[in-house]
Amino acid sequence: MEKKQPVLWIVIPCYNEEAVLPITAPMFLEKIRDLEEQALISDESRVLFVNDGSRDRTWEIIQSLSREDPHFLGIAQSRNRGHQNAVLAGLMEAKEHCDITISIDCDGQDDINAMDEMVRQYLDGCELVYGVRSRRDTDTWFKRVTAESFYKLMNDMGTEVVYNHADYRLVSAKVLRAFDNYREVNLFLRGMFPLVGFKSTSVFYERHERIAGESHYPLSKMLGLALDGITSMSTRPIRLITGFGCLVALISFVGVIWSIAAHFMGVAVTGWSSMVCILCFLGGIQLLGIGVIGEYVGKTYMETKHRPRFIISEKTWQDENDPEMRIG
Ligand code: UDP
Ligand code: MG
């Protein structure tokens, strides 16, 4: 069934991106116009920037863009909350006004031309379209290896993620309304959307180098994201520890029998080295176990607080649903 031209909102998180925005914003605008001309989307479509508490001139740039062209809109978070929360803030705002959203980073790394195919897939009946990197040539060897092990580890640990898909995806407003019922504060969007269900597909694209500025994801943050992704989506690590604990207990049992037998056979020597090894090993395993369980306790703690996942402090337009909002 052919749907009417959907209203598309492109949602773009921005944190300290003054170097990139003036270059990429016109590209997004051109893409919206292009899609409108192809009659794939409605001319009510918009580009929504989410300022994630930037410390540079990003918000001023967004404000002036919104004055220059009615396609551009902006919302500002009250402070920096991180990429995932910024995307969520944008998506939740957009779902009130549009039929479909496409989230994309503002640094020009993801090929905007994949949007045509995403919208076509939506018109063909898909509610979720994942943008998937077909190649990683532009990444360094190190980034490629770490990223690929990241996806493998995630899947091994029971978090269903689409391989090589980051946060470039089309999500319909229908899916977003269902997604709104997922109230968790530990966000890992790329793992959460597959849980919502609905008909989905992937669109492949090539990833470019960042146009300007610097990545906000150094290795330490990547590791943090991987750890958060696993522990907020799956309890398999706890299972693994339990399994490992059983194994160690079994080995210890054999060890106890062996040591008693050795005592009675009179061959028990003062085995200092083996003693130290066993002590260190068990100590290490126990600390690791406590650490992993602690991760989950910490997550539970944050979840029980039910803190807001984002707070919007300003918008570039007068929103009738939200008369108290400050207009930036
Ligand atoms: N970003 C954000 N809040 C943050 C960090 C990043 O909104 O605290 C945005 C950033 O402006 C960009 C996107 O998230 O649009 C992805 O960040 P980046 O390009 O630095 O990550 P990478 O592509 O290197 O993984
Ligand atoms: Mg980037």
282 and 181, same structural domain?
no
* Residue 298, pLDDT score: 85
282 and 171, same structural domain?
no
For the segment 316-323, the average pLDDT, to the nearest whole number, is: 80
The reply to whether 241 falls in a domain is yes
Give the mutation target among 83, 142, 207 for probing the ligand 1 site: most ligand atoms within 8 A of CB: 83
Cβ–ligand 1 distance for 167 under 6 Å, the answer no
87 and 21, same structural domain?
yes
For the segment 186-197, the average pLDDT, to the nearest whole number, is: 89
Domain that holds residue 255: 236-305
Cβ–ligand 1 distance for 83 under 6 Å, the answer yes
Q: What is the mean pLDDT of the chain?
A: 88
176 and 294, same structural domain?
no
Answer whether residue 261 shows pLDDT above 80. Answer: yes
**Comparison of pLDDT for 158 and 1, the residue scoring more:** 158
Atom of ligand 1 nearest to the CA of 81: 8
Whose C-alpha lies nearest to ligand 1, atom 23? 215
pLDDT class of 133 with cuts at 50, 70, 90: confident
101 and 180, same structural domain?
yes
Whose C-alpha lies nearest to ligand 1, atom 13? 105
Cβ–ligand 1 distance for 217 under 6 Å, the answer yes
Which CATH number covers residue 222?
A: 3.90.550.10
178 and 44, same structural domain?
yes
The reply to whether 221 falls in a domain is yes
C-alpha to C-alpha distance for 94 and 173, rounded to whole angstroms: 8
The reply to whether 122 falls in a domain is yes
**Comparison of pLDDT for 46 and 276, the residue scoring more:** 46
For the segment 44-68, the average pLDDT, to the nearest whole number, is: 95
Q: Could you tell me the distance, in angstroms and rounded to a whole number, from the CA of residue 204 to the centre of ligand 1? A: 21
169 and 197, same structural domain?
yes
pLDDT class of 34 with cuts at 50, 70, 90: very high
For the segment 179-187, the average pLDDT, to the nearest whole number, is: 90
Atom of ligand 1 nearest to the CA of 166: 25
For the question of whether the overall pTM of this predicted structure is more than 0.75, the answer is: yes
The reply to whether 1 falls in a domain is no
The reply to whether 294 falls in a domain is yes
199 and 262, same structural domain?
no
Give the rounded percent of residues in the chain with a pLDDT score beyond 70: 97
pLDDT class of 1 with cuts at 50, 70, 90: very low
260 and 222, same structural domain?
no
Tell me the pLDDT tens digit for each residue of 195-249: 898 999 999 998 887 777 887 877 788 788 888 888 888 888 888 888 888 888 8
Answer whether residue 2 shows pLDDT above 60. Answer: no
Cβ–ligand 1 distance for 106 under 6 Å, the answer yes
For the segment 22-47, the average pLDDT, to the nearest whole number, is: 94
299 and 187, same structural domain?
no
Atom of ligand 1 nearest to the CA of 50: 7
136 and 121, same structural domain?
yes
The reply to whether 321 falls in a domain is yes
The reply to whether 3 falls in a domain is no
The reply to whether 2 falls in a domain is no
163 and 34, same structural domain?
yes
pLDDT class of 70 with cuts at 50, 70, 90: very high
Number of domains in the chain: 2
Atom of ligand 1 nearest to the CA of 82: 8
